[in-house]
Homo-oligomer: A and B are copies of this chain.
Amino acid sequence: MDLFLSSFINKIDKKGRVSLPSTFRNALPKSNKNEIILYKSIKSDSIEGCGTERLKEISKRINNLDYFSEDYDDFSTSVFSEIIPTNIDKEGRFLIPDELKKYAKIQNEVAFFGQGFFFQLWEPKAGILKREESRKRLLKEKKSLRTILTQQNK
């Protein structure tokens, strides 16, 4: 399906390794399944990640901005300089860089949340809380999941 879907909680071992959930590995681009890019989420205390293909798309978009604009500068700096390419070993595991781990307050376990075109890494409790709040907010505003899911596509 090539989308990052559902949620998983995996352990970090003594060496700092975590398994990227198998379904997430499968969602990585065929061109490069041995590398992901990680960066601090702009919107929350979580880490975001995705395959290297997406980075190409993003850099194209930034490249289309006016070179002399503030936007170009801001995006270019905050995106490229903050991105951390990370290798996946033969068992499907990777290391979470210390700085990112601190940022997301992650210790022995990580929650993986599919976000479609990318995914997030959370300290499990914080992540689950956030997910519940999102759901509540949608319900409150009556933009129900079911509406989206059952809407007929034409």
Residues of A whose CB lies within 8 Å of any CB of B are 1, 3-7, 23, 35, 37, 39, 41-44, 48, 50, 52, 54-55, 57-59, 61-63, 68, 70-71, 73-85, 113-118, 120, 130-131, 134-135, 137-139, 143-146, 148-153
Contact across chains for A61 and B148 when beta carbons are under 8 A apart? yes
Cβ of A131: which chain B residues have Cβ within 8 Å of it?
77-78, 81-82
List of B residues within 8 angstroms of A138 by Cβ: 74-75, 78
Q: A1-B35, A42-B139 are in contact. List 15 more A-B contacts (CB 8 A).
A: A1-B55, A4-B80, A42-B144, A42-B146, A50-B149, A63-B117, A73-B134, A74-B137, A75-B138, A78-B131, A78-B134, A79-B149, A81-B120, A82-B131, A117-B150
Q: Are B80 and A5 in contact (CB under 8 A)?
A: yes
Q: A23–B37 Cα gap in the complex (Å)?
A: 14
Tell which of B5, B43, B81 touches A115, judged by Cβ atoms closer than 8 Å. Answer: B81
Alpha-carbon gap, A145 to B75, bound state (A): 8
- Which 8 pairs between the two chains have the least Cβ-Cβ distance? A81-B113, A57-B153, A74-B134, A77-B134, A80-B116, A80-B114, A6-B84, A76-B115
